[in-house]
Amino acid sequence: MLNVAKFGGTSVADYDAMVRCANIIKSQPETKLVAVSASSGVTNHLVTLSQQILSVEEQTQIIEQIRKIQYNITQHLTVETELNLIIDQVLTSLIELTTQQNTLQTAKTADAILACGEQMSSQIFAQVLKTVGLNCLCFDVRNVMKTNSLYGKAVVDIEQLASNCASQLSPLLQEHVVVTQGFIGRDGLDNTTTLGRGGSDYSAALLAEAVNATGLSIWTDVVGIFTTDPRIASSARAIPEISFGEAAEMATFGAKILHPATLIPAMRSDIPVFVGSSREPEAGGTQIRQEVASKPTYRSIAIRKEQTLVTVKSPAMLHASGFLVQVFSILAKHELSVDLITTSEISVALTFDNPTGSTQALITQAVVEELEQLCEVTVEHGLSLVAVVGNNLHASIGLGSDIFDNISDVHIRMICHGASANNLCFLVNEKDGNKVVETLHDKLFV
């Protein structure tokens, strides 16, 4: 039995939270590998620093706030002085990075900046594990997590990860609990990369696969995956058991609880995943696995905000072939990932995720201009994607009255249904998003 555990930002936010997590690990001897996020709030500060919008004074203020978050934890430890030296080293490199930024290096430098949070939290957490009596060491994940150079959304080399883990990481797990960083990797040029916001879940799943773990536990601030985001609908309740397919749809369509790619390695290698709260480990959580006992038509509702809808229209598309190939090759060239698509005879509507604070590629003027060589292009912002997740939805009847009749006063901008058995998605104006989720949740689940 070998379990990999991941602790998110709130779980390593302060000393008390870290001690709670340490006790969870201590109570589970099979948990040998632990991936951590940055302490809560740190990555958001780092994103602000990476955006090159601050005066030197503002930069200094933010760096001091980060130092305070970390020092507030280290002050409880006997190794405070040594840890503060490590934190100071990371922050000194951060100061250098924020002052050396130039436009050519932005994406690369942004990743080096964003990676500082996990470097600090992992070092501190390893020391907290020692205080509860665990034989623990901190391992730099960048030695094994090799990626390409797509800064902000780097792609991991899975085979290299497996062989690096076999030679460098797995032997350490025999004798130690190893703490490492989520979210970060290193490319072939020896530069630090990141896997996208919320990427620690994905790191942990990749590591679980690479060390042949028998389980993955994602410890966060809620007691499992809920029927919808509990911050949006207070009537949301935890789901005891959910299939990989359903949970993957939820993650993809914005249920922030899991990074969208988390379940890919878990499904590929059939590793059951547990999601629970590090604040209330005794409260149970959600088990995500291949086969589940119940398969309800409606399982949950997810929402993803800050969506962009691009509509391309060309009369030349009428009875023509090859138009879509041209559109998609432009998008691929700009490394843009399309989420939803609807088509009519002469137009295609495509949605893209454009979250604030992301360092990923956006629909730039260059993309629009290139598409305009082919067709008319309209870009709309301020939309939310609502996904109703469940089972056999493509073959179910009554979706119209169950879903759309209940939100008949809302402007629905686009609907995608039929491709997946596990979801029905639609776009609404951002101002209506939360209300739609609340209303539908109360109709479908309460």
The binding site for ligand ADP (CB under 6 A) comprises 8-11, 37, 198, 220-222, 225-226, 228-231, 255-257, 300
Least separation in angstroms between CB 254 and ligand ASP: 14
Contacted by 257, from ligand ASP, ligand ADP, Mg ion, none: CB < 5 to 8 Å by type: ligand ADP
Residue 217 interacts with ligand ASP (CB under 6 A): yes or no: no
9 part of the interface to ligand ASP, by CB under 6 A? yes
Q: Which is nearer to ligand ADP, 98 or 220 (CB)?
A: 220
The residue number whose beta carbon is nearest to ligand ADP equals 8
The answer to whether 182 and 203 are in contact (CB under 8 A) is yes
Shortest separation between residue 366's beta carbon and ligand ADP, angstroms: 31
- In whole angstroms, how close is the CB of 41 to ligand ADP at the nearest point? 10
Q: What is the dihedral sign for C-alpha 146, 170, 30, 40?
A: negative
333 binds, among ligand ADP, ligand ASP, Mg ion, none (CB under 5 to 8 A by kind): none
Nearer to ligand ADP, 349 or 389 (CB): 389
- The span of 85-93, 193-201, 204-212, 383-391 binding ligand ASP (CB under 6 A) equals 193-201
Which residue, 387, 384, 395, is CA-closest to 416?
387
Q: Which is nearer to ligand ADP, 236 or 310 (CB)?
A: 236
Q: Using CB under 6 A, which residues numbered 18 to 77 contact ligand ASP?
A: 37-38, 43
Q: Which residue, 8 or 196, is less far from ligand ADP as judged by CB?
A: 8
Q: Supply the minimum distance, in Å, between the C-beta of residue 173 and ligand ASP.
A: 22
Choose among Mg ion, ligand ASP, ligand ADP, none what residue 226 binds, the Cβ cut-off being 5 to 8 Å by kind.
ligand ADP
Residue 300 binding: pick among ligand ADP, ligand ASP, Mg ion, none (C-beta 5-8 Å cut-off by kind): ligand ADP
- Among Mg ion, ligand ADP, ligand ASP, none, residue 121 binds (CB under 5-8 Å by kind): none
Please tell me the distance from the alpha carbon of residue 106 to that of residue 50, in angstroms, as a whole number.
Answer: 8
Residue number closest to Mg ion, CB atom = 198
Residues 111-130 interacting with ligand ASP (rule: CB under 6 A):
117
Smallest gap from Cβ 59 to ligand ASP, in A, equals: 19
State the sign of the Cα–Cα–Cα–Cα dihedral 234, 425, 436, 401: negative
Q: Which among Mg ion, ligand ADP, ligand ASP, none contacts residue 117 (Cβ within 5 to 8 A by kind)? A: ligand ASP
Contact between 8 and ligand ASP (CB under 6 A)?
A: yes
Judged by CB under 6 A, the stretch of 154-162, 197-205, 248-256, 282-290 that binds ligand ASP is 197-205
**Binds 279: which of ligand ASP, Mg ion, ligand ADP, none (CB < 5-8 Å by kind):** none
Taking a C-beta distance cutoff of 8 angstroms, is the pair 311, 349 a contact? Answer: yes
Identify which of residues 199 and 390 has a Cβ nearer to ligand ASP in the complex: 199
Binding residues (CB under 6 A) for ligand ASP: these are 8-9, 37-38, 43, 117, 182-183, 197-201
